[in-house]
Amino acid sequence: MRGNNGGGHTLETVMTASERRTVYLDHAATTPMLPAAIEAMTYHLARTGNASSLHGSGRAARRTVEEARESIAEALGAQPSEVVFTSGGTEADNLALKGLWWGRLAEDPRRRRILLSGIEHHAVLDPAVWLGRHEQAEIEWLPVDERGRVRPDDVRRAIESDPESVSFVTLMMANNEVGTLQPVREIAAIADEYGIPVHTDAVQAIGQVPVDFAELGVDAMTVSAHKVGGPYGIGALVVHKETKLTPILHGGGQERDVRSGTLDAPATAGFAVAMEHAIKHQADEARRLTELRDALIDGVVSTVEGAKLSGDPTERLPGNAHLSFSGCEGDSLLLLLDARGIEVSTGSACNAGVAEPSHVLLAMGYDDQRARGSLRFTLGHTSTRADIDAVLENIGPVVERAKSAGLQNVGRNT
């Protein structure tokens, strides 16, 4: 059969992955929008009004935004005035890091140390490194153990070596790749002894583990809508009332002058519905997902030789199963699973689409090969037992095949 005679087939007849039953196990990347959130957002999309306008339409939009703010604040244990809407998690992280940096420096020029872990999301890592390069911030990496956990004692030691010079501490609530939960509350308490602000990226934690801003004792917390069943393109930085934050987006002075830009009223409405739902059902959902996750982990580890769980067996996100497979590449596994309609992630960053070994796994002490032979399965509100069964049915043959394709691309070391 030659492919060059064109003719009979049209592109529409080509079978694509989306036409098969899809087993979606990449909820940490994004999770399907809740129907109620779509409904709320769609309702407001059909209405006109800039929340900053003084007339009736503006008032209506403002009401939508403020009601959303109040409901998100309540769900997260914060005051409404502490919720600053942003374009998403990345902007909220940038605002937290740069805003805290310049805010703290204006008060005391000695504050040049940023304490953070090497397993942070790039939206935290990269602004920190940027501050190091452009603002002469001193980046101090907090060590993580082989389960990806930062020890409070290490934070205490780092602070106490010279408390006056610390700008802030940033530590994620839960790691996005291996799902390890971090002792954020303990660390916030230690920092508080010295009046040092703490930021946490809670994007992955919301809806999976209890998150209460006031109770955590942090000064700034990043959340994102599309990870909890809300729309893309909106998130928030929850900032303690007394925390000084220098704005990074300048303009119309919205969001108490901290974040200029016309508010996306429909998105705030969708965000609020999703957030309320996620917090309300968190405990039940955590129980349900933990059971499914453990069935997935036990099933894979007991049937696939060389498969190992990464991260902490219990102190982890209920929906996260991160597994490494010896003797094969994550890229091969992903391709083979994708061909079978099972969608997962290798959890690695891309440069020209070329997979680099994950900085999280390398920080946890993994060697290059094990880091490359890893897959992240993340469960969410649409996940069912049938999804887990589909993985368990396919993973054995897929790993065997991937092993025969070998490790020929491992060892890219430049």
Partner 1 sequence: MRVLAAMSGGVDSAVAAVRMAEAGHDVVGVHLALSRNPQSYRSGARGCCTIEDSRDARRAADVIGIPFYVWDLAERFHADVVEDFVAEYAAGRTPNPCLRCNEKVKFSAVLERALALDFDAVATGHYARIVDTPDGARELHRAVDPAKDQSYVLGVLTQEQLKHAFFPLGDTVKTEVREEAERRGLAVAAKPDSHDICFIADGNTPGFLSEQLGESPGDIVDAQGNKLGEHKGTHGFTVGQRKGLKIGTPAADGKPRFVLDISPVDRTVTVGSREELAAAQLTASKPRWCGPAPDSELHVKAQLRAHGEEVAVTARVEGDLVSVDFDEPTSAVAPGQAVVLYDGTRVIGSATIDTVSRVAAQHA
Q: Is 335 in the site for partner 1 (CB under 8 A)?
A: yes
Q: Which segment (14-22, 120-128, 291-299, 308-316) binds partner 1 by CB under 8 A?
A: 14-22
The four Cα atoms 269, 275, 277, 282 give a dihedral, to 10 degrees, of 180
Instruction: Among 281, 354, 365, 385, indicate the residue that binds partner 1 (CB under 8 A).
Output: 354
Q: Is 355 helix (H, G, I), strand (E, B) or coil?
A: strand
One residue of 82, 201, 331, 387 binding partner 1 per CB under 8 A? 331
Q: Identify which of residues 74 and 126 has a Cβ nearer to partner 1 in the complex.
A: 126
Exactly one of 350, 351, 353, 411 is catalytic; which is it? Answer: 350
Q: Which is nearer to partner 1, 10 or 314 (CB)?
A: 10
- Comparison of 161 and 409: residue with beta carbon closer to partner 1: 409
Report if residue 405 touches partner 1, rule: CB under 8 A: yes
Identify the CA nearest to 335 among candidates 325, 346, 326, 327: 346
b vs e for 315-334, b when ≥16 Cβ sit within 10 Å of the residue's Cβ?
Answer: bbbbbbbbbbbeebbbbbbb
Rounded to 5 degrees, φ, ψ at 114 are -110, 125
> Is 302 a residue that touches partner 1 (CB under 8 A)?
no
Residue spans of alpha helices (H) in 112-247: 122-135, 152-160, 184-193, 213-216
Strand partners, 139: 114
Segment interacting with partner 1 (CB under 8 A) among 47-55, 60-68, 127-135, 348-356: 348-356
Identified binder of partner 1 from the candidate list 199, 351, 373, 375, rule CB under 8 A: 351
Cβ neighbours for 42, distance < 8 A, ≥ 6 positions apart: 266
> Which stretch of DSSP H or E encloses residue 223?
strand 220-224
Among 83-91, 303-311, 378-386, 398-406, the segment contacting partner 1 (CB under 8 A): 398-406
Catalytic residue status for 328: no
For residues 232-261, which are near partner 1 according to CB under 8 A?
none
Distance separating alpha carbons of residues 414 and 405, to the nearest angstrom: 23
Strand ranges in 69-158 using DSSP code E only, listed in sequence order: 83-86, 113-117, 138-142
- The answer to whether residue 20 forms part of the interface with partner 1 (CB under 8 A) is no
Beta carbon nearer to partner 1, 71 or 358: 358
Q: Which of 252, 253, 365, 406 binds partner 1 (CB under 8 A)?
A: 406
DSSP string, 255-276: TTTTB-S---HHHHHHHHHHHH
Hey, which residues are catalytic here?
A: 350
Residues in contact with partner 1 by the rule CB under 8 A: 1-7, 9-11, 13-17, 331-332, 334-336, 338-339, 350-355, 401-402, 404-406, 408-409, 411-414
